[in-house]
Structures are given as structure tokens and as C-alpha cells.
Amino acid sequence: MKPPIFPTTTLSLLLIAAATPAHAQTITTEYGIEFCTVGAVGNAPVPPPPPDGGSLLSPSIGRGRVDYEYRIGRTEITTAQYVEFANVAYGVPVLQRHPNVGPTPYSSGAFIESITGGGGRRYAVSPEPGSAMLPVFGVSWYMAALYCNWLHNGKSSDPASLYTGAYDTSTWGYADGQYTDGATHLPGARFWIPTIDEQIKAFHYDPNRFGVGQGGYWLNKNMRDIFGQSGPPGVGQTSAYYNPGGGIDPKRIPLGSYPNEQSPWGLLDTSGGTTEWNELFGPGSSQIVRRAFGAAAGTSAASDNIYGTAGAEPFESPLTYGFRLATSIPTPTTTLLLSLPLLLLPRSRRESRHS
């Protein structure tokens, strides 16, 4: 018997809107994915950590400045958003060298609906309430990149749509101890895995951190300088480092279940949910790896600190890894069609150890 899914209610959606910071004025939706706009162009980068506040070797130091406006997913990619892609991507030989790379995540709200006559699989969202909003855990960096290609090409049912658009898969390989992969998304990409600068800024940079117009960084997620309290929705503030036992799986908590816990730009689940991939290549324990950020449901608090990052090889599918998307600002005409005004209420007071 599966552990229960914590339900997402209409009330929780209303609370999300009410808790959104005042400068995060609108969200836009494309392909059913909500995006928050991140402004404050040319913000300062992340400073070195305070004493006992992080490693001086953290790849976050000196990052976080972004010289353009952009949008980033309000939540990580959900099961409902991933299933359609999985039904296109299943069995596509992206990398013959890594046949274990595939669209099936370690954990999600989906199930194998059927096996076709040709041996392929069909995925569907589980009918259990809340399944559609469960994040997908155990996604490789390569599969996240293919998802971006698929969206870039209009969610085409042609498997060829997975090979380029946002990322050029023809560059993917390994030689002489180095990956030959293109380091970043292609010019003109419509959707991409966030850069580490985009990710850090959207998670931690607050344009009013020290007063109106006085920007700065929060050390931890959700506009805090201390870790949030772990616990179930309605009791705790994050599913990260939440391990209740008794058959309760924090991975079964739907995205958006902590509506009062948001980044300065209105992002949800930057703490909890999954550890999220970004584009940065950085040193790992043995070789070059792609980086990731954020403490996943049930895991250590370390990655919730702005200086704490993780990483894995791009073909690996760590059990707690997922992703959210970044995209550009739509044209004014598109904005009028896609914008959804949010309730503008004063930001609630957050705990802080630093003035």
C-alpha cells in the first residue's frame, strides 16, 4: 500500500496568492507551467559567507548577479507536466553509452498505464488525489534538458524534437576525462534549465532585503536566515529534513502545500520538493559534474543554505533530484494574454538572525 498523498486544496491555492511578496506582481502560464518574473537587473553577486555560515569554496560565492529580466517556474515540474513528455521520450536512444537514462523518474504521481504491442510503455497520472501535483524525483540532467527541447519544439510527438532546440544533444559525450557537452543552453532557447545565477537570484535575492530598494540575499530559503521548521503541511514550513516515519513519505507531499513559504519572487518549494538541477559544470568528488541546489523532501538541511550545493554526473538520476524551468520575458502582447494578477498584500515578517 502506498503512503498517503497530502491533498492540495482550493484554500491552499488562495493562501499562495495572499502570501506572495508585493513586488512579485504577476505570474504567466505557458504549457500549463506557471512562471514568476525576476527583475532587479544588475543585482550584486553573493558575498563570501559569514563566520560558520558556509564554505569559502562554495560555487555560490560571486554568483547570483543577472543582468536581464527572466522568468522561472513557480514550482518544480509536476507529474502531470512530465507524463506527456515521458510518453514521447520513452525508448529514444539519447545516449547509447548510458542506456539507463530514461524518462521514468524514481518517484512521482504516475504509473505505467499499459505496455504497447511494440514493447513501449504508456504513462498516466495516478487517479489518487494530489498525484498530478507531486514532483518527479530521480530525473537526470540529460532528461531535464530533453524536456526543454520538447517544450521548445511545441510538445511535438515526433521523437526527433528531443534532440535540439534548447540543448544540442549532438555535443553530449565524454573524452579525455571531460564532458564534451555544451555548457549552456543554445541562443534562442525558449525554455532551459536555470543557470546557477538565475537559480540563486530567484531563490535568495530580495530587492527589499534591507528596506525598500535596498537589495540583499537571505542565507536560507523562503526569506529566512535560519532553517525553516520541518513538518507536514499546516504544521511545518518545509518538507526538507522531515522524516516522520510510520510509513509517511515526505515525497508524497504535493507541490504548493506550503503556501506561506515563498522566495522573494513568489517561487514555491525552493525548500523541500526536489534538489534542483542547474546548468553549471563544477568540480565533483572525482570529475566534472552538473550542479544542483536546494534540500529535497526528507533530506539534510545543508543545501537550503545559499552556500550549500550538490552535484552529479549529467546521466545520473539521483533519487532526490528534479528540476524547474527558466524562460525569457514574453512580448507585451503575450503578457496581456498570459498574465494573472496576484493579490498584493504586505510581505509577512520573516525570522532573521542578521539585520
Q: What is the pLDDT of residues 193-229, one digit of tens each?
A: 999 999 999 999 999 999 999 999 999 999 999 999 9
Q: Is a pLDDT exceeding 50 seen at residue 331?
A: yes
The CATH number that domain 16-77+137-340 falls under is 3.90.1580
Residue 156: pLDDT band with limits 50, 70, 90: very high
Percentage of the chain beyond pLDDT 90 is 59
Q: What is the pTM of this model?
A: 0.86
Q: What is the pLDDT of residues 54-75, one digit of tens each?
A: 677 888 999 999 999 999 999 9
Most confident option among 21-30, 96-105, 165-174, 342-351: 165-174
Residue 137, C-alpha cell as written in the block:
524525483
Residue 5: what pLDDT?
A: 67
Q: How far apart are CA 205 and CA 139, in angstroms?
A: 27
Q: What is the pLDDT of residues 280-312, one digit of tens each?
A: 998 765 566 899 999 999 987 777 899 988 899
Average pLDDT, integer, range 234-253: 91
| Inter-CA distances, 39 with 42, 48, 127, 206, 353, Å | 9, 23, 39, 10, 26
Average pLDDT, integer, range 305-326: 92
Q: For residues 12 and 257, which has the higher predicted lDDT (pLDDT)? A: 257
Residue 314: what pLDDT?
A: 92
Q: Is a pLDDT exceeding 70 seen at residue 154?
A: yes
- In the chain, domain spans: 16-77+137-340
Q: Is a pLDDT exceeding 80 seen at residue 348?
A: no
> What are the b/e assignments for 41-79, b being 16+ CB within 10 Å?
eebebbeebeeeebeeebbbbebbbbeeebbbbbbbbbb
Q: How far apart are CA 2 and CA 4, in angstroms?
A: 6
Average pLDDT, integer, range 316-320: 91
Residue 354: what pLDDT?
A: 39
Percentage of the chain beyond pLDDT 70 is 78
Q: How far apart are CA 122 and CA 135, in angstroms?
A: 19
Lowest mean pLDDT among 120-124, 262-266, 275-279: 120-124
Q: Is a pLDDT exceeding 50 seen at residue 345?
A: no
